[in-house]
Amino acid sequence: MAETDWIAVDWGSSQLRAWAMGADGSVLQWVSAERGMLTLAPDQFEPALLELIERWLPAAGVVTVIACGMVGARQGWREAPYCQVPCAPLSARQFVMIPSHSEQLKVYLLPGLSQELPADVMRGEETQIAGVLERQPEFNGIVCLPGTHCKWVRVNQGKVTGFQTFMTGELFALLAEHSVLKHGMNDPQADTLSSSLPEFLSAMRSAFEQPGQLSAALFSLRAQGLLQGMTADEARARLSGLLIGAELAASQMFRADEPVIIVGDSGVAELYAEALQSLGITPQRLNADAVTLAGLKAARSLLGI
Amino acid sequence: MAETDWIAVDWGSSQLRAWAMGADGSVLQWVSAERGMLTLAPDQFEPALLELIERWLPAAGVVTVIACGMVGARQGWREAPYCQVPCAPLSARQFVMIPSHSEQLKVYLLPGLSQELPADVMRGEETQIAGVLERQPEFNGIVCLPGTHCKWVRVNQGKVTGFQTFMTGELFALLAEHSVLKHGMNDPQADTLSSSLPEFLSAMRSAFEQPGQLSAALFSLRAQGLLQGMTADEARARLSGLLIGAELAASQMFRADEPVIIVGDSGVAELYAEALQSLGITPQRLNADAVTLAGLKAARSLLGI
């Protein structure tokens, strides 16, 4: 293996992922572990990281580590205070260098972004936005980042000018696994949505048209299971459709008519793309890992090392 | 103790409550236990009931038991098929008599109500509606029954003509206890809302005006905790306000301008009353236990025994 030039890290709530980067910008190796921020006390971050990357370290000399995500939250390794929008997604003078015990590591945490009104925050997605801009420096428009907390981010002339977070993914998981609706659902891990796309789109459109009726429409899923024998696959597709439809209605003003990029290639990103398409919007799609890595590379360039 | 004439039972998902009734309609004794429908297999219902009421049974002779609630669900003691609205809240010919092992019991289950479009169901609340009508036979208007699944029920000339269920209570519990919002909340059991009424009402009004923004407004609670130091009491009051405000907006068309009765005297019923009042609607309040018992008495009269 060629010598590790620096190490890129995406450290979220539940997962830690690291890439050993070559001097030519190529990925030499990568690794991931279930050592997310939520599982670690402040003094456990460095050992958890070292355990994963020790074999990549050269015999001598210091290696730069650049990490984004929840690792920089108040409950993380150390707090990297938010940058307030409007601002560039990454600003080198806001990066936080952490004193590490190992003399071989020089660790930088990337801060998240905050918005005062309406109050909102992100950690990790700012790096993906930087990656999007690395790929498409001229992009002006909306970046949609589906996930547990889906973000809609407005980008203008290289800056993030505003964003809006929806709890759609978390609501889906809570409702499908822990609410009365679970009785009519199948395993929310199983990917059966492709066969239920018409049901997804019909529920999506109904919630898009009447987003304020969401909490009544949710209970109706239960009643349709009891009264009309709605199948578990259909119930799951409709639940997803209702939540995403309400989100698309609520983000409509924010989106205006600007071009949309969806970051992600998971099943849920696919659903956002299908939903937007059925509303007459054709989003561009970018791979999530690719933009994360591009963003971490952009951070390294900003450091000028 | 005077002799038990019959036994009234309210048997929900999590609780079993029974009243020993005298021949003059008075309550001789009552008892409750955490033996709800969800904790019992079909053959465990009769033993669970007997354990509670055995001491009320006379030395000889048969005692009528009238039970409402989830005990009549498909997963309950035995299914009491729904009556479809529009219909009276209780119809004696739809009551289901259950063959019991004990020769001393004659058990009737009261069926719930269903609505075809939009699909909806209730079990237990129909008995409370019958109780409301027992108290106020001339009432035409809307009955609001707050709880895990809040029901808004339209009553006209003694019949239920339509209803709408909201998952507000369940959403509150899931979000306050299991979502990312729990980090900024205090114990949702603690009754601190009285001190946070202004925050509750301000969030309620904002969601009432923009119900479609609910899922973005929810995440903003988390961000306000992180950025603006919102207290846990305030976060909890605002969460409750957002959910109830969205419900009041969504039920607005259904309510029209009809008079509203709120069934319940719990903290959450109090919040619905405060919210309606701040929107210019003065609801009447009725005690939940009193209308349940009045409904069970009405069922007994309908049986003509």
The per-residue pLDDT for range A138-152, each reduced to its tens digit, is 999 999 999 999 999
Question: What is the model's pLDDT at position B88?
Answer: 98
Phi and psi at residue A284, to the nearest 5°? -85, 150
**8 Å CB contact of B223 and A180:** no
Alpha helices, H only, A5-58? 45-53
Q: Residues 6 or more apart from B140 whose CB is under 8 A from it? A: B155, B156, B157, B258, B259
Phi and psi at residue B87, to the nearest 5°? -165, 165
**What does the alpha-carbon distance between residue A26 and residue A6 come to, in Å, rounded to a whole number?**
11
| DSSP E strand boundaries for B81-221 | 83-84, 96-98, 105-109, 113-115, 120-122, 141-145, 150-156, 159-166
For chain B, the domains span: 6-123, 166-286
**8 Å CB contact of A219 and B165:** yes
Q: From the CB of residue B62, how many other CB atoms can be counted at a distance below 10 Å?
A: 13
Rg from Cα positions in chain B = 21
The per-residue pLDDT for range A52-80, each reduced to its tens digit, is 999 999 888 999 999 999 999 999 999 99
Interior angle at CA A72, CA A69 and CA A77, nearest 5: 120
Domain A6-123 fold:
Nucleotidyltransferase; domain 5 (3.30.420)
Do B6-123 and B166-286 agree at the fold level? Answer: yes
**8 Å CB contact of B215 and A246:** yes
**8 Å CB contact of A170 and B164:** no
> Which residues of B are less than 8 Å from A229 in CB distance?
none
Q: Residues 6 or more apart from B224 whose CB is under 8 A from it? A: A119, B230, B235
Token pair 């904790």 is found at B39
Pick from B293, B276, B266, B292: nearest CA to B142:
B276
- Intervals of chain A under pLDDT 50: none
The helix (H) or strand (E) run that includes residue A178 is helix A168-178
Beta bridge partners of B10: B17, B68
ipTM attached to this prediction: 0.89
Pick from B37, B4, B2: nearest CA to B19:
B4
> Which residues of B are less than 8 Å from A119 in CB distance?
220, 223-224, 227-228
Phi and psi at residue B139, to the nearest 5°? -65, 125
Q: Residues 6 or more apart from A138 whose CB is under 8 A from it? A: none
- CATH level 2 (architecture), domain A166-286: 2-Layer Sandwich (3.30)
**8 Å CB contact of B167 and A212:** no
Tell me whether A159 touches chain B (CB under 8 Å): no
Nearest CA in chain B to A176: B174
**What does the alpha-carbon distance between residue A23 and residue B49 come to, in Å, rounded to a whole number?**
75
* Contact in structure between A277 and A271 (CB atoms under 8 Å): no
What's the first-to-final CA gap in chain B, in angstroms? Answer: 22
**What does the alpha-carbon distance between residue B200 and residue B240 come to, in Å, rounded to a whole number?**
7
What is the mean pLDDT, run by run of 10 residues, along chain B of 305 residues? 92 96 95 95 96 93 96 95 98 94 95 96 98 97 96 98 96 94 73 77 96 91 93 94 96 92 92 96 96 98 90
**What does the alpha-carbon distance between residue B108 and residue B300 come to, in Å, rounded to a whole number?**
10
**What does the alpha-carbon distance between residue B206 and residue A253 come to, in Å, rounded to a whole number?**
17
Phi and psi at residue B122, to the nearest 5°? -145, 150
For residue B166, give the nearest of A178, A219, A224 by CB distance: A219
Three-state secondary structure string covering B51-103:
HHHHHHCCCCCCEEEEEECHHHCCCCCCCCCCEECCECCCCHHHCEEECCCCC
Per-residue burial over B102-118, b if 16 or more Cβ lie within 10 Å, else e, is: eebbbbbbbbbbbbeeb
Q: How many CB pairs under 8 A join A and B?
A: 128
Pick from B175, B173, B187, B152: nearest CA to B281:
B152
For residue B228, give the nearest of A119, A166, A214 by CB distance: A119
Question: What is the model's pLDDT at position A33?
Answer: 96
Secondary structure class of B23 (helix, strand, coil): coil
The DSSP 8-state label assigned to residue A285 in this structure reads: E
For residue B165, give the nearest of A174, A179, A216 by CB distance: A216
